[in-house]
Chain A
Amino acid sequence: MTNMGRRGFVKGATLGALAFTVGGVEAIMAPGEARARNVPFRLLDAHQGETLEALGETLVPQAREAGIAHYIDQQLSVPPHEALLQARIFNVRPPFADFYRTAIVSIDESSRRILGRDFAQLSAADQREFVGRMRQNKIEGWTGRPGAAVYAVLRADAVDVVYGTMEGYEALGIPYMPHITPEKRW
């Protein structure tokens, strides 16, 4: 076999942070940075982005700032076999965008019916309560994929952006110890 060397010797990662489009030019940056720089979404509209941010933040604090919506948006724009989304592991059939779009519609429909406004406009306490019921499939009249599945996939994505990065490990005090370091700390 080829001797790949010990930890730290291998710098083979050609894939780093994600490719975002800024002013028509592709730039590589972490999703949190893309959010901070107001990079336009590729596929999501503003409302979908806002809903994913609100949902992500309810599931995992700091997911908004970590760029959950930009992360999902960018990942939906690449071919499914290149996507890093947890939808893949949960056996969601591509195109993955269908899953997220339907989830947002189901959430907003229920939110409007029960609480009179879109999910993103609810108070943090109401968002939290709503997500708790969604997790247990306890929202009456819910349509589309089961609430528990929406909870599991979105929670997993939010865990990724907040905890799955090198910064996330650092924040938890867990030594990262990579063999092949993800470029730009991804």
Chain B
Amino acid sequence: MTNEKVDVVIVGAGASGSVYASVLAKAGKKVVLLESGPDWQLTDLISSEIWGRRVKPAGAPILLEGKNPMAYAAQGGWGVGGAALHYYANFPRLLPTDFRMKSEHGRGHDWPIAYEDVAPFYDKVAREIGVSGDARAEEKWRPAGEAYPMPPMKTFRNGNIWLKAFEASGIPMVPAPVGMNSVEFKGRPACLYDGWCHVGCPIGALANPQVTYLGEARKAGAEVRAWSTVTRVLTNPAGTRVTGVEYYDDKHQKQTQEASVVLLAAWSAQNPRLLLNSATDKHPKGLGNASGLVGHFMMSHHVASTWAMFDEDVQNHMGTIAVQYMSYERYPKKSHDGAFGSSFVTAGFAVKTTDLANSRADLYGPELADYMKRAARNLAGIKTFGEEQPNVENRVELASEKDEFGMPLGRLIHSFDSDAVALWNANFEEGLNVARASGAKEAWSARGTMPTSHLLGGTIMGTSAANSVVNSYGQSHELPNLWVAGPGIFPTEGASNPTFTIFALSQRGAERMASQWGTLTN
């Protein structure tokens, strides 16, 4: 079935797709978002570790391989809002050094843009959706910008208990910026500090797409079609332009949605999967893939979690799931001897029973029961996110096995290299030293499987089709009306959580698309 042609069809109604939908619908464009999952409402966000699992992917069509397979379901989203429906909304930004990795260190890639190109959009996003934090305090590490629109969030003993030890270790901690309301913001209430953010905040204190960009987009006339799974991007016979997408609706019927512009916003692994599956005789390697780089340079963050048990009640049920304190002190790429890459240090967060049990994954039986009782009052944690360098071997490709729509599954192959492992170890060592200096009764590193947090790359930006898939706005080098959004376009990842940058780049890309509209549609 063919639908009426629209201006823009957006594949994926998550973090990045919502920003484009809002900007373009407000610019008067007819926008349709196709989303493979359900149309989650705020009333679906039940405060429960168990029921919260419904909003996560179940059996995503991606095979997970490599030495460090991606924790796809834990890190992904499914349904309207995407992963940002239940993200933690930690909003650190990238720093200038991240954009110049190749020129400063001869490693990875340079971005085709500088920090200064993105900075105004960080400020704009903060104004638009609300960020709480202390910009001045962060400016000891980064160029000055606008103050955040809200003061920092409240802190609790599970965060404050670390401060002296960090100071003694030469790591100044400052209030962490978060996409949450410390005070009422644009009619959305202030946070209640109950720590249910990871299963979705139904009161709108956390900036999920439903209460920010997507709400605005819908008001401006954008249409969201849930249960609509896109399988191919379509091109004209000459292979010079994209013409729309093919998708399967809630009844598994094949449909076509024609559009002047196609935006892929289906997260880092699905976007290349779609491009590869859209090969034609004019584009035998897949769309936008003259470079052969579609699907390559997949990246993730590793996380070194340090736990400690204190004598006092640290009120670990209080706070948000986001962090209370952060530091860029170990962000310079050579902060640790014998390791390379940025680290982003954080501390203080609310924990629920799953976290309590996972903090000692080796315990079971009566020892676990005993531990849970103690941890419920006395456990607090430090998390240090670490950067991995882009590696061409970390990739998404098409598998021979098919999904329910006959589309080849993706195969996501991911392994951390020795630099990443060295940095992870260095961050553990530092975390343990801080914990020991904090007066904790016991402290330990949560080793075991090396965690993968966030997923980036696969459709990286660069200066030309020789070194990348898209330009700095997310526009394909080869097909001017094919665009890609999200963390997939990052050519390096830094150590900061990505979504503040995803929003900023999407805002920048969407404004560009709107301002260049005439060149895209002729």
Q: How far is the CA of A86 from the CA of B41 in the complex (A)?
A: 23
CB 8 Å contact bits of A144-186 with B (1 = contact, 0 = none): 0000000110011001100111001100111111111110001
Residues of chain B within 8 A of A94, CB atoms compared: 58-59
Q: How far is the CA of A88 from the CA of B54 in the complex (A)?
A: 9
- State whether the Cβ of A116 lies closer than 8 Å to any Cβ in chain B: no
Question: Contact: A172 with B73, CB < 8 Å?
Answer: no
Question: Contact: B192 with A6, CB < 8 Å?
Answer: yes
Count of B interface residues, CB-CB < 8 Å: 56
**Contact partner of B354 among A15, A58, A84, A159, CB < 8 A?**
A159
Q: How far is the CA of A82 from the CA of B215 in the complex (A)?
A: 26
Closest Cβ of chain B: how far from A134's Cβ, in Å? 10
Question: Contact: B73 with A91, CB < 8 Å?
Answer: yes
- State whether the Cβ of A133 lies closer than 8 Å to any Cβ in chain B: no
Closest Cβ of chain A: how far from B35's Cβ, in Å? 14
Question: Contact: B73 with A12, CB < 8 Å?
Answer: no
Interface residues in A95-140 (C-beta closer than 8 Å to B)? 128, 131-132, 135
Residues of chain A within 8 A of B43, CB atoms compared: 4, 10, 12-13, 180
Residues of chain B within 8 A of A86, CB atoms compared: 53
Residues of chain A within 8 A of B58, CB atoms compared: 80-81, 83, 88, 94
Interface footprint category on A: 35 or more
Residues of chain B within 8 A of A165, CB atoms compared: 50
Contact residues of A: prevailing secondary structure: loop
- State whether the Cβ of A25 lies closer than 8 Å to any Cβ in chain B: no
Q: How far is the CA of A94 from the CA of B59 in the complex (A)?
A: 6
Question: Contact: B376 with A179, CB < 8 Å?
Answer: no
Residues of chain A within 8 A of B357, CB atoms compared: 155-156, 159, 163
- State whether the Cβ of B299 lies closer than 8 Å to any Cβ in chain A: no
Closest Cβ of chain A: how far from B272's Cβ, in Å? 19
Q: How far is the CA of A63 from the CA of B195 in the complex (A)?
A: 25
Highest count of chain B CB atoms <10 Å: which of A90, A169, A174, A186: A174
Q: Contacts A4-B203, A80-B59 hold; do A128 and B365 have CB atoms under 8 A apart?
A: yes
Question: What 4 pairs across the A-B complex have the smallest Cβ distances?
Answer: A12-B43, A178-B47, A177-B194, A163-B353
Given contacts A62-B369, A177-B194, A186-B51, 19 further A-B contacts (CB under 8 A): A1-B215, A4-B203, A10-B43, A10-B203, A12-B43, A12-B44, A80-B58, A80-B59, A89-B73, A89-B74, A94-B58, A155-B361, A159-B357, A164-B49, A168-B353, A172-B353, A174-B353, A177-B195, A186-B48
